[in-house]
Amino acid sequence: MASEDVKLIGAVMSPFVMRPRVSLNLKGVEYEFLEETFGSKSELLLKSNPVYKKIPVLIHSGKPICESLIIVQYIDETWSGHSILPSDAYDRAIARFWAHYIDDKWFPALASIARAQTEEAKNEAIEQVFTGLKLLEEACEKCSGGKPFFGGETIGYVDIALGCYLGWLRATEKLIGITFLDETKTPLLCHWAEKFSSHEAVASVMPETDKLVEFAKMIQAKFKAPANK
């Protein structure tokens, strides 16, 4: 597939944008990456995603597809080769369930740590992240069947859903001085995280932790700054 047929609107730091990037890499699809500037929205983005007005947007042969996990499913159904979603209907349903849990419950807890206004709220969010990781450790054991990834021998839908948050998980660890992925508590996830991050489809698009920390500090400073009068 020629690169001019596939475009991806996004930003390097976004875990949601990383999902289609990993998926396209797994499929061996060439694409043009159109990076958005933080704090502004390009005309192409607004035209391509007029409802939510946010990244990522995949443009395939001039047609836009929005929302990260919907894009991942589209990529899996459009291009042959590496299978991202399981072939079995039940296994697909389970994969979608865990991907939804990750976006609906687990990541919001992680993101709320930095936004917490009190120590109590911060500690509650931290506890929710740990509780979620315990659930995901159990899910990893069941879904993987003793193999390296949630998807078995290869990276699958849940791997992409969770793995693209690893950069921000590590950045949060550095920001607050807490280790979330611990060999004694979540050994399967620790091993999985190493395998996922080092995979050739992932390593080239995984943001550097230190750069994410710098970006997070910039965001925090922006929100804490008094509004101009």
pLDDT digits 0-9 by tens, 49-104: 999 999 999 999 999 999 999 999 999 999 999 999 999 999 999 999 999 999 99
Q: How confident is residue 4, by pLDDT bands cut at 50, 70 and 90?
A: low
The pTM (predicted TM-score) of the whole model is: 0.94
Closest CA to 188 of 155, 144, 154: 144
pLDDT in tens, 165-194: 999 999 999 999 999 999 999 999 999 999
Domain 3-78 fold is: Glutaredoxin (3.40.30)
How far apart are the C-alpha atoms of 13 and 5, rounded to whole Å? 24
Q: Where do the CATH 3.40.30.10 domains begin and end in the chain?
A: 3-78
Comparing CA positions, the residue from 201, 183, 179 lying closest to residue 192 is 183
- What's the pLDDT tens digit per position in 113-159? 988 989 999 999 999 999 999 999 999 999 999 999 999 999 999 99
Residues 104/163, Cβ–Cβ less than 8 Å:
no
Q: What fold is seen in the domain 89-214?
A: Glutathione S-transferase Yfyf (Class Pi); Chain A, domain 2 (1.20.1050)
Counting every residue written for the chain, the total comes to: 229
* pLDDT value at residue 229: 40
Span(s) in the chain for CATH 1.20.1050.10: 89-214
The answer to whether the beta carbons of residues 106 and 136 sit under 8 Å apart is yes
CA distance 217 to 131: 26
- The amino acid at 66: C
Compute the average pLDDT of residues 11-26.
98
3-class state of residue 59 by DSSP: strand
Q: Which residues contact 19 (CB under 8 A, 6 or more apart)?
A: 56, 68, 69, 71, 72, 160, 161, 164
As a whole number of angstroms, the distance between CA 164 and CA 207 comes to 9
Token digits for 182? 């611990």
Q: Considering Cα of 209, then 210, then 215, then 218, what sign does the dihedral take?
A: positive
DSSP 74: H
